[in-house]
Amino acid sequence: MTAEQAAEAAPISAQAVEEALLAFLAERIKTSVAVDQDLFGSGLVSSMFAMQLVVHLEEAYDIAIIGPELKLDNFRTVQAMTALVLRLSAARDG
């Protein structure tokens, strides 16, 4: 399931978001990562990709990630980003 399709099928599951994120990372940085791997600490994320990630999540899940949500801790791992997406989508729908 693509991220776009995931966004259609509410409510989105953590597993679906994780899978879509792993696929996006594999496509963009040509590396398969673990869901709990520190992406920023490991140098896998270029400065360009850091912003692309944010814009991608906003576009794919129809959420706005701004202000205090843009913290390193929310982006460090696939798990953290998944939690962020689920929380912001729930806030938007709730």
**Residues at the site binding another protein, with contacts judged by CB under 8 A:** 28-30, 40, 45-48, 50-56, 58-59, 66-73, 75
Task: Considering the complex, state which of residue 18 and residue 49 has its C-beta at the smaller distance from another protein.
Answer: 49
Give the shortest CB-45-to-another protein separation in angstroms.
7
Give the shortest CB-46-to-another protein separation in angstroms.
7
Q: How far is CA 27 from CA 33, 56, 68, 80, in A?
A: 11, 13, 28, 19
Contact 19, 37 (CB under 8 A): no
Task: Considering the complex, state which of residue 65 and residue 86 has its C-beta at the smaller distance from another protein.
Answer: 65
Q: Per the structure block, which two tokens stand in for 16?
A: 């679906």
Give the shortest CB-28-to-another protein separation in angstroms.
7
Q: Per the structure block, which two tokens stand in for 52?
A: 């692309």
> Whose structure tokens read 């576009």?
59
